[in-house]
Amino acid sequence: MRYLPHTSAEIESMLSSIGMKEISDLFASIPRENVAAPMNLEPALAEPALMRHLTELANKNSTSALSFLGYGMYDHHIPPAVDQLLLRSEFYTAYTPYQAEVSQGTLQAIFEFQTIVCELFDMEVANASMYCMSSAVAEATLMARRLTKRRKIVMSGAVHPDARGATHTYLSAVDSGNPAMLVIAPENHTTPGVLDAIDAETAAVVVGYPNVFGAFEDLETIVAKAHENGALVITATSEPYALSVAKAPGSFGVDICVGEGQALAAPPQYGGPGVGLLAARKSMVRQLPGRLVGQTVDQDGERGFVLTLSTREQHIRREKATSNICTNHGLIALSMAIRTAMLGRQGFTQAGEICMRNARFLAAEIDAIDGLSCPLKSKPHFNEFIVRRTGGKPARELLTKLAERSILGGVACDFDHGDASEFLVAVTEKHDREALDTLIEALKELA
């Protein structure tokens, strides 16, 4: 089967219409020395043969490994119903929301997503989504600088490295390569050091909730110290299910909440795509990046939706643009809204409780194994925790041995500010007792 839609007769007719004999005549104006040699490609395959070949290649991937990977991407259950609802024509043919009268479906879906994000964080307004948590953190720091008219950002070293890297890149761009950002190395996997770095020049303090090591920061103390100095507080939540059992950051007085919605929207899929969450106080709405959908009524009094805010660089008010991100991750945001609605408040809490029970059980069992310990087992954490090898032995060595048994045991903590003898283990509601016992027994043999 050919993949070009035109027959030889049609090609010949088109060439004749423009006065040429061969397709190569179309490129006659290119000097011969600039023309690349033909690629040495394998012969084309018919569609049935091609599909068999692709299936053979796909089967080389291991799909049966037991995974305890986390580190910002979490494998929660996504029901098939979510995919089926995403396929409805109302969603995938809905018009992009510039003309409200012809894009009500898209606008309502975004409005519902924003409402869910506000409820998760206990905040007053949320935008239509960012690209990922990293872009949301970076945009939140720029937002804080506009609001406070200050430049200094105090960022915990226990914020996910991807978010710190993205923020550094953003600030380097706006500060001509010299970002006024201070990164604090973690102390015992949390960051009491951020308190010492807050001063009257600080625009915002950024901490993880939970942080990259799975631990919850002392938000109450951090918020109090920041507000005393006129600084804002930004939290970054890469595991939204943590908010099913933990106190919402907005209830602590946090000013801007960002996060990653992947866990509620899609499987990890080799690291993406995700959907960045960003919510803030209503008084800050004019500085929100991206777009925001609002609810109104039409001339007949019927409920309708409009693109309330969309100050961006392509519009006539481009000098007032708050961000170069002028769209949103619509499909993943929609998926998150559908999944969260299907769970409901009770289902969301039940799933979170299962995750937390699994983590508590697994951490206690691993901590009892000779050669291993869980240094944060007594600190508040959700479904992810640190495992440390005694004697400073490298974590990657143990993880490699586990992988040989088709167990992805976790993520080594040898990233910056991390300890090479430690690794992160994450569990979700998808891990049953048999899966937990499999990891425990393997660690007993190998540790």
Distant-in-sequence, close-in-space partners of 332: CB < 8 Å, separation ≥ 6: 129, 261, 262, 265, 266, 273, 274, 275
Order of strands, sheet of 411-412, starting from the edge strand that comes earlier in the sequence: 372-373, 384-389, 422-426, 411-412
Count of C-beta atoms within a 10 Å radius of residue 48: 9
Burial (CB count <10 Å: 0-12, 13-18, 19+), residue 279: buried
Distant-in-sequence, close-in-space partners of 370: CB < 8 Å, separation ≥ 6: 447
Q: How much of the chain exceeds pLDDT 70, in percent?
A: 93
* pLDDT for 177 beyond 80: no
Cβ–Cβ under 8 Å, residues 100 and 264 = no
Q: Mean pLDDT throughout 268-279?
A: 91
Domains of the chain: 66-76+345-446 (3.90.1150.10), 80-339 (3.40.640.10)
More confident residue, 48 or 123: 123
Tens of pLDDT along 50-59? 999 999 998 8
Distant-in-sequence, close-in-space partners of 291: CB < 8 Å, separation ≥ 6: 97, 110, 127, 128, 307, 309, 310, 312, 326, 327, 328
Tens of pLDDT along 121-160? 999 999 999 999 999 999 999 999 999 999 999 999 999 9
Out of 17-26, 171-180, 326-335, 432-441, give the one with best mean pLDDT.
Answer: 432-441
Burial profile 369-392: b = 16 or more Cβ within 10 angstroms, e = fewer: beebbbbbbebebbbbbbbbbeee
What pLDDT sits at residue 1? Answer: 42
Residue whose C-alpha is closest to residue 331's, from 271, 265, 270: 265
What pLDDT sits at residue 163? Answer: 95
Distance CA 426, CA 416 (A): 20
181-184 and 202-208 beta bridge pairing: unpaired
Count of C-beta atoms within a 10 Å radius of residue 394: 15
* pLDDT for 2 beyond 80: no
Tens of pLDDT along 401-431? 999 999 999 999 988 767 899 999 999 999 9
Q: How much of the chain exceeds pLDDT 90, in percent?
A: 68
- For the entire predicted model, the pTM comes to 0.86
Q: Which two tokens stand for residue 264?
A: 């509620």
* pLDDT for 190 beyond 80: no
More confident residue, 272 or 295: 295
Tens of pLDDT along 210-264? 999 999 999 999 999 999 999 999 999 999 999 999 999 999 999 999 999 999 9
Average pLDDT, whole number, for the chain? 90
- What is the torsional sign of CA 149, 217, 129, 324? positive
Tens of pLDDT along 86-109? 988 877 666 677 777 778 888 999
Count of C-beta atoms within a 10 Å radius of residue 38: 6
- What is the torsional sign of CA 177, 182, 185, 188? negative
More confident residue, 197 or 260: 260
Tens of pLDDT along 28-45? 899 988 888 888 888 888
More confident residue, 285 or 92: 285
Tens of pLDDT along 394-405? 999 999 999 999
Specify whether the backbone of 407 is left (phi greater than 0), alpha (psi in -120 to 50) or beta. Answer: beta
